[in-house]
């Protein structure tokens, strides 16, 4: 749920800001400022989506590493037991 909200809320906020701003345009400077704001906003939203996907992938890699670490630790314990039995 949090991942969905993290992706959709910035886009909704951008849409609301654009609608409110377009309702009261006065001159060319406003158009230029809107173009700059939209460019920065689109970049921020794309970056945010990329960070969310990267965090998910990083979490998956971390979990796989932890699982593998647990397997190795178990194998080492078994190996120690076998070595101690032979002594």
pLDDT of residue 26: 62
Which residues 6+ apart lie within 8 Å of 49 measured at CB?
Answer: 7
User: 44 is written with which tokens?
Assistant: 């921020």
Task: Count other Cβ atoms within 10 Å, centred on residue 48.
Answer: 15
State how many domains the chain has. 1
Q: Spell out, as residue ranges, where the chain has pLDDT lower than 70.
A: 2, 20, 25-30, 32-33, 36, 87
Task: State how far the Cα of 41 lies from the Cα of 47, in Å rounded to an integer.
Answer: 10
Domain that holds residue 39: 2-86
As a whole number of angstroms, the distance between CA 54 and CA 56 comes to: 5
Question: What's the pLDDT score for residue 32?
Answer: 64
């Amino acid at each position: 749920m949090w991942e969905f909200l993290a992706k959709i809320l910035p886009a909704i906020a951008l849409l609301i800001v654009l609608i409110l701003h377009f309702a009261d345009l006065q001159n060319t400077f406003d158009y230029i400022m809107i173009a700059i704001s939209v460019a920065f906003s689109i970049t921020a939203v794309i970056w945010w989506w990329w960070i969310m996907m990267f965090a998910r992938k990083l979490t998956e890699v971390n979990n796989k590493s932890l699982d593998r670490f647990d397997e190795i630790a178990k194998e080492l314990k078994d190996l120690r037991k076998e070595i101690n039995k032979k002594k």
